[in-house]
């Protein structure tokens, strides 16, 4: 089975209190876009779970989230202790004969766009269909929560409010169709480092998440775009924050209705209601270096 794993954007992202389990409570509006990895899943007779990608530096073992998703899927079929299996446990399972997962990466890595999480979600959605499990999307998302905080959203997709660690999802009215121009600078961001820093940073402001939800309910694209904000921008090192701000300002000058950073970055994006303006912005941002994408919302 071939399946697409779509990137996500954070239209708003707010970090709330640290929880007793060490995680932070989040409140964020998530949005799917057309930019996607392509996964191909095929049974084999080796008794092994094998992962390969078109990027040589990505793991091809259980450190890959796509492999983790498959482990959690088969573990859930046979074990009450979900979240404990490894590759050796899988080989001993009578329910597993072997699976190849091939990933063609198009979503940039370590970019705040949920590429690994979306790959994991795509594996779960594919196995649900390939094995005729007929699980509801919410049940598949529950398995995804064992893999990573963004995986449940990536199972469901669309426009949604994510709370808790990201696993508590409330569907929202869809964002009016628009174009998004994405620019990932030529550096990456450490997600654990940003989470460790966010508690000690003075936040300049917080996103108006409720106002953005009201704008979605009214079908007001400009209203949503004006309210986009990501508190992790305040936790970036100074030079990286300046770089992200430069990209956001360039997007606004090119006609974006609003611009923000996605996830823990460093990808900055702008929303456009006009395709020609979006294409001009894509061309203009080539001078900034990094990876530039033009995509549409889903």
What was the pLDDT predicted at 82? 62
Tokens of 106: 């198009």
Are the C-beta atoms of residues 267 and 113 closer than 8 Å to each other? yes
Residue 40 pairs in a beta bridge with: 2, 102
Residue from 128, 173, 182, 133 nearest 155 by CA = 128
Out of 14, 37, 119, 150, the active site residue is: 150
Residue from 193, 270, 260 nearest 231 by CA = 260
Whether residue 132 has pLDDT greater than 70: yes
The helix/strand/coil state of 87 is: helix
What was the pLDDT predicted at 124? 98
State mean pLDDT over 279-286. Answer: 96
Residues spanned by the domain of 117: 2-171
Number of domains in the chain: 2
What was the pLDDT predicted at 199? 83
Kindly state whether residues 184 and 155 are assigned to the same domain.
no
Kindly state whether residues 188 and 283 are assigned to the same domain.
yes
Measured over the CA atoms of residue 234, residue 190, residue 183 and residue 120, the dihedral's sign is negative
> In terms of DSSP H, where are the helices of the chain?
65-78, 87-92, 115-130, 137-144, 151-156, 191-198, 209-217, 221-226, 238-253, 275-284
Whether residue 17 has pLDDT greater than 90: no
In this predicted model, which residue has the larger pLDDT, 17 or 162? Answer: 162
Measured over the CA atoms of residue 170, residue 171, residue 177 and residue 179, the dihedral's sign is positive
Kindly state whether residues 135 and 238 are assigned to the same domain.
no
What's the pLDDT band for 192 if we cut at 50, 70, 90?
A: confident
Lowest mean pLDDT among 11-20, 119-128, 242-251: 11-20
For 286, phi and psi rounded to 5 degrees? Answer: -55, -30
Kindly state whether residues 43 and 152 are assigned to the same domain.
yes
What was the pLDDT predicted at 22? 80
What was the pLDDT predicted at 88? 87
Q: What is the pTM of this model?
A: 0.94
- pLDDT, averaged across the chain: 94
Domain endpoint, select from 143, 171, 199: 171
**233-255 tens-digit pLDDT:** 999 999 999 999 999 999 999 99
Whether residue 21 has pLDDT greater than 90: no
What's the pLDDT band for 131 if we cut at 50, 70, 90?
A: very high
**251-271 tens-digit pLDDT:** 999 999 999 999 999 999 999
**CATH code for the domain of 221:** 3.30.70.890
Which residues are CB-neighbours of 176 under 8 A, at least 6 positions away? 219, 220, 221, 273
Domain endpoint, select from 133, 153, 171: 171
What was the pLDDT predicted at 20? 87
User: What count of residues does the chain have?
Assistant: 298
What was the pLDDT predicted at 79? 54
Asked if 8 is an active-site residue, the reply is yes
Kindly state whether residues 144 and 274 are assigned to the same domain.
no
Kindly state whether residues 130 and 55 are assigned to the same domain.
yes
Count of beta carbons in the 10 Å neighbourhood of residue 210: 12
Are the C-beta atoms of residues 166 and 26 closer than 8 Å to each other? yes
What was the pLDDT predicted at 198? 87
Residue from 272, 259, 254 nearest 10 by CA = 259
Rounded to whole angstroms, how far apart are CA atoms 238 and 204? Answer: 14
């Amino acid at each position: 089975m071939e399946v697409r794993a779509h990137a996500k954007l954070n239209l708003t992202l707010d970090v709330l209190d640290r929880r007793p389990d060490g995680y932070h409570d989040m409140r964020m509006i998530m949005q799917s876009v057309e930019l996607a990895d392509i996964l191909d899943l095929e049974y084999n007779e080796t008794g092994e779970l094998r992962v390969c990608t078109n990027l040589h530096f990505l793991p091809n073992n259980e450190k890959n989230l796509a492999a983790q998703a498959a482990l959690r899927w088969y573990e859930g079929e046979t074990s009450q202790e979900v979240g404990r299996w490894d590759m050796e446990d899988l080989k001993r399972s009578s329910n597993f004969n072997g699976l190849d997962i091939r990933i063609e990466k198009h979503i940039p890595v370590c970019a705040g766009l949920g590429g690994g999480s979306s790959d994991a979600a795509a594996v779960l959605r594919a196995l649900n269909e390939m094995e005729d499990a007929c699980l509801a999307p919410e049940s598949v998302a529950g398995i995804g929560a064992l893999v990573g905080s963004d995986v449940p959203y990536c199972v469901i997709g669309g426009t949604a409010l994510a709370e808790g660690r990201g696993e508590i999802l409330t569907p929202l009215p869809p964002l009016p169709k628009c174009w998004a121009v994405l620019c990932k600078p030529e550096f990456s961001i450490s997600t654990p480092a940003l989470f460790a820093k966010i508690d000690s940073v003075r936040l300049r402001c917080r996103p108006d998440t409720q106002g953005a939800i009201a704008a979605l309910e009214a079908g007001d694209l400009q209203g949503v775009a004006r309210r986009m904000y990501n508190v992790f921008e305040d936790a970036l090192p100074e030079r990286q924050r300046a770089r992200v701000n430069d990209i956001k300002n360039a997007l606004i000058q090119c006609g974006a209705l609003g611009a923000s950073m996605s996830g823990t970055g460093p990808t900055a994006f702008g929303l456009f209601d006009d395709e020609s303006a979006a294409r001009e912005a894509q061309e203009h941002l080539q001078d900034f270096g990094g990876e530039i994408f033009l995509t549409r919302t889903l």
